[in-house]
Structure 1
Amino acid sequence: MSDLKYSEISSILKEELSNFQFESKLTESGIIVQIGDGIVRAFGLNSAFYGELVEFHFGIKGMVLNLEEDHVSIVLFSSSKKLKEGDTVKRTGKIFSIKVGENMLGRVVDVLGNPIDGKGPIEGKLFEMPLERKAPGVIYREPVQEPLQTGIKFIDSMIPIGKGQRELIIGDRQTGKTTIAIDTIINQKRFFEKNHPVYCIYVAISQKGSTIARISKILQEKGAMPYTIIVSSTSSDPASMQIFAPFSGTAIGEYFRDTGRSSLIIYDDLSKQAVSYREMSLLLRRPPGREAYPGDVFYLHSRLLERSAKIIKDQKMAEKMNDIPLSIRKKIKGGGSLTALPIIETQSGDISSYIPTNVISITDGQIFLEKDLFHSGIRPAINESISVSRVGGAAQIQSMRKISGTLKLDQAQFRELESFSKFGAELDSSTMNILKKGRINIEILKQTPHTPYDIADQIAIIYAGTKNLLKNIPFNKISDFEKEYLFYLNEKYESVLNSIRNGIFDKKISDILETVALKLNDKYVS
């Protein structure tokens, strides 16, 4: 019996030893041979791979971005003051990733996901999300059909945005680009309160610290912070942090998208990211191309923006999606979306320069803001003839599609005739009517910052404009008429507005809107 027991023990030990794998704990390290301007060149990291995180003394981290024949070039994520030539650098074997979780909502974080708002550490469970990731393939995407309402009359009626779309906001500095983005975030509050939240990520790239604080304060005052995360990279941060800030924000947005929810990301702005990328590329001695930008600056933006998508509702298909991080594999759900609003700053309205043309070719449309319109008091200063949404009416509710169909055409006719009217020629009555209707529509589409409109209110006032119900009201009284008209409808006809919100717009509703508009007309006609 004892012999049998010994033989059993022997066979068990042999089996265990055969399955045992010896893991080497040795790590590859190298030596810094050159350091300066946030770039480190190191010998000895022969097996390092592109995009790998490396670690220096004092917990300073960097990323391998150039693989040369005899050395690697590393970009630092913090100051190089504590490092010197001859110091060691260790491989980590990891790629750049950020910890993401529900408790990030309402916080201001840096590019590495660390809170910088003075409210203490981020509690709760956090999940590792890689900054660089493959965009979802075609079979995992759905057509963009669900509207993402901005609360801006001009955009929701003429340049509609859908969930999963990438709509570029482009224009000169100080034309209201950031205001459109912030108003879109504020407008999501009504959906958050109805338990249909759109989680918003605002990525500040090379912004002043005071600007980021001001935006945070506005969102706080408007009650938008509970569903918003601000990713901050100030102009004093290293160029590497400004380059990776959009990727960091996208990783956070993908967490909400992949777990079956809607998210919106704003990149403010990608021109500054491209400038930082040019700076870093030149320091890495990569050859410059057009406007001294490196050849892969298009790929920088395309691989970022292609990650915005509406994911297929079929959960089993969604689970097969490429490059899903192990940390959230069990939480994957279909039907999520990530909508992108990249911002690009132009110089003197030149949309034909390198970076604007690149991003226009990647996105699904653009909202073009014009300095002349802004200074003439038309705000938002959107030029509807250049602005376009390549998704179109598919991203509008049925009632908005019905009433806004002729609006863009009316305004295009108005712009054309307006240029002729400046010559002082005598105009016939039909031309005068088109010009007057166009000016009334401009007054209707004007909007004060940070006051997004409910979709039913937008439809009600735009209908009054397209049907020419305000033709007898002086231009300077249209704003007052609009306030009273919408207040009256909300007080007396809440059920009508609810029907409009649900996409219904029949003759009964149009009759009520016309009756109310004509009833209030007399008060404002001079």
Structure 2
Amino acid sequence: MSDIKYSEISSILKKHLYNFKIESKLSEYGVVVQVGDGIVRSFGLNLSFYGEIVEFDKKKIKGIVLNLEEDHVGIVLLNSSQRIIIKEGDLVRRTKKPFFIKVGRGLLGRVINPLGDPIDEKGSISGTLFEVPVERKAPGVIYREPVKEPLQTGIKFIDSMIPIGKGQRELIIGDRQTGKTSIAIDIIINQKKFFKKNPVYCIYVAIGQKASTIARIKKILEDNNAMYYTIIVSSNANDSASMQVYAPFSGTSIGEYFRDLGESALIIYDDLSKQAISYREISLLLRRPPGREAYPGDVFYLHSRLLERSSKIIRDQDIAKEMNDIPKSIKNFVKGGGSLTAIPIIETQSGDISSYIPTNIISITDGQIFLEKELFNSGIRPAINESISVSRVGGNAQIESMRKISATLKLNQAQFKELESFSKFGSELDSSTMKIIKKGRINMEILKQELLNPYKISDQIAIIYIGTKNILEDIPIDKINLFEKEYLFCLNKEHNKLLESLNNGILNDEISKKLENVAISIINKIKL
């Protein structure tokens, strides 16, 4: 009797120990049960967490856990070109780490993929690199300070009427082929002027673009000597949807590295429409319920947690060091006063800014620059519609001399837009109305700008001031461009101190009079 009981207990213990072994293995390992379209479903991985990186044994392929189901885990592959060699029955194991990327100054001048690997055939990344998470909490309100330092773009229209400050999030929105990327590239090139005294490190994130387009942008930056302070994070059209979704997050982590070290960084997302489409693709493959326009319900959270990370950090060193979610690798180097400025780009369909993704981004950002197809086709470059475009930081992000003239310019252009529609009917207009329309057209001509030709802030103030003072009313519209070239050439050659005062924010009666006198002398020369 005692022998029988002993054998029964032994078998029960053996069974439990066997199950315990299996259970403990399933907490750290999983078995692939389904694979396709860059999505892997795995049985097991019971202790894995959302956003954890997992590895497929013997294949060196990485995936990221995005779905935690009752009986399986949904994994998105981070490298689509190798997904075909994963088969049902393959083992997948936890790394117990979230998605990390290595950042450092060695990335400057390089083209990398969202995993941080160089793809520009220049060898491995040199210098010290720090491991930081791709996903991070945005700094809390206590660690931020108001945006009041201008990020000069070199574009007359933007710096005067839609100013951008360091730490701001300003959206560029418009149909395809309206010059959105051109504005972003001009802003990067303009930062070259400030590199010696107050550098702004630029990160250009290309999402779902052709490889040839990314190569062309890199060539433009190299030709304009702007690549040495720029990093390109590339996820082209051939990359997986997951790479396109995570490219902006990788770029933001690089920008945060410079921001947390007390320096200024600028990140351009080109464009977040494609990121939203890739995220929708992944979500539908993971069988998440679609909502408006088939996007999942958390697509707003995708963009908000990305853009909220851009900020101006408080200058107080002691408070900045306590900032939430600082990676351990850079904690000892943290300084206050840094900034990360975001310029997301969104593509609209037929100018519809009321669709789902544009309205989401508009509500998250601090203003938008709206590019209009009709203006672009009529020859106005940049094709900015100033009545819809806005900066919620406004004059706080301008130097004093620019603030003085921009208020007058905005008022002039608002009157011009209101009255211009009446002139199209061909009805007779009184002389005062005609003067307002003529002045508005002159200002529009002044605000036009060629590609890859950013202006110094002093040059912008000088030419816009002359436009607002109506000194050019007797010059034909087609000669405004000639006047501008002659006027700015004369100022830069003979009146450097004058321009230096404007650059320092000084615009008094004496300087105003000198600007007007130089302009009148150029007008008389043109007339002769």
Fold conserved between structures, TM > 0.5: yes
SS in 1 for 2:59: helix
The answer on 1:35 being equivalent to 2:21 is no
Judge conservation of contact 2:51–2:65 (CA < 8 Å) in 1: yes
Counterparts in 2 of 1:126 and 1:85: CA distance versus 1, 3 Å: same
Structure 2 Cα separation of the partners of residues 444 and 129 of structure 1: 45
Judge conservation of contact 1:27–1:90 (CA < 8 Å) in 2: no
Counterpart pick for 1:165 among 149, 165, 168: 168
Judge conservation of contact 1:472–1:525 (CA < 8 Å) in 2: no
Question: Corresponding residue for 1:51?
Answer: 51
Structure 2 Cα separation of the partners of residues 165 and 378 of structure 1: 26
Question: Corresponding residue for 1:369?
Answer: 371
Structure 2 Cα separation of the partners of residues 25 and 33 of structure 1: 16
5 Å matches for 1:350-389?
350-389=352-391
Structure 2 Cα separation of the partners of residues 518 and 109 of structure 1: 52
Structure 2 Cα separation of the partners of residues 406 and 510 of structure 1: 14
Give, as a single letter, the amino acid of the residue that structure 1 aligns with 2:360.
N
Give, as a single letter, the amino acid of the residue that structure 2 aligns with 1:254.
E
Structure 1 Cα separation of the partners of residues 128 and 469 of structure 2: 54
For structure 1, the 5+ residue unaligned runs are 1-23
CA deviation map 1:132-154 (0-9, x unaligned): 10000000000000000000000
Structure 1 Cα separation of the partners of residues 124 and 482 of structure 2: 48
Judge conservation of contact 2:27–2:45 (CA < 8 Å) in 1: no
Question: Corresponding residue for 2:228?
Answer: 226
Judge conservation of contact 2:405–2:461 (CA < 8 Å) in 1: yes
TM-score between both structures, scaled by the size of structure 2: 0.94
Structure 2 Cα separation of the partners of residues 269 and 409 of structure 1: 32
Structure 2 Cα separation of the partners of residues 178 and 69 of structure 1: 44
Question: Corresponding residue for 1:332?
Answer: 334
Structure 1 Cα separation of the partners of residues 49 and 527 of structure 2: 73
Question: Corresponding residue for 1:310?
Answer: 312
CA deviation map 1:456-497 (0-9, x unaligned): 000000001000111111111111110110010011110111
CA deviation map 1:268-313 (0-9, x unaligned): 0000000000000000000000000000000000000000000000
SS in 2 for 1:81: helix
5 Å matches for 1:373-522?
373-522=375-524
Counterpart pick for 1:102 among 101, 105, 117: 105
Percentage of matched positions with identical amino acids: 75
Question: Corresponding residue for 1:20?
Answer: none
SS in 1 for 2:65: strand
In the TM superposition, what is the alpha-carbon distance from 1:408 to its structure 2 partner?
Answer: 1.2
Structure 2 Cα separation of the partners of residues 270 and 471 of structure 1: 43
Give, as a single letter, the amino acid of the residue that structure 2 aligns with 1:435.
I
Structure 2 Cα separation of the partners of residues 384 and 151 of structure 1: 17
For structure 2, the 5+ residue unaligned runs are 1-23
Question: Corresponding residue for 2:178?
Answer: 175
SS in 2 for 1:114: coil
Structure 1 Cα separation of the partners of residues 410 and 384 of structure 2: 12
Counterpart pick for 1:184 among 183, 187, 193: 187
Structure 2 Cα separation of the partners of residues 347 and 27 of structure 1: 47
Structure 1 Cα separation of the partners of residues 366 and 27 of structure 2: 46
Structure 2 Cα separation of the partners of residues 228 and 123 of structure 1: 15
Give, as a single letter, the amino acid of the residue that structure 2 aligns with 1:367.
I
Structure 2 Cα separation of the partners of residues 130 and 496 of structure 1: 48
Structure 2 Cα separation of the partners of residues 246 and 312 of structure 1: 24
Question: Corresponding residue for 1:112?
Answer: 115
Question: Corresponding residue for 1:132?
Answer: 135
Structure 1 Cα separation of the partners of residues 526 and 207 of structure 2: 46
Judge conservation of contact 2:102–2:130 (CA < 8 Å) in 1: yes
Give, as a single letter, the amino acid of the residue that structure 2 aligns with 1:76.
L
Structure 2 Cα separation of the partners of residues 78 and 251 of structure 1: 20
Q: CA RMSD in A?
A: 1.2
Question: Corresponding residue for 2:3?
Answer: none
Structure 2 Cα separation of the partners of residues 215 and 523 of structure 1: 40
Runs of 4+ aligned structure 1 residues displaced above 3 Å come to 24-27
Judge conservation of contact 1:474–1:525 (CA < 8 Å) in 2: no
Structure 2 Cα separation of the partners of residues 401 and 32 of structure 1: 62
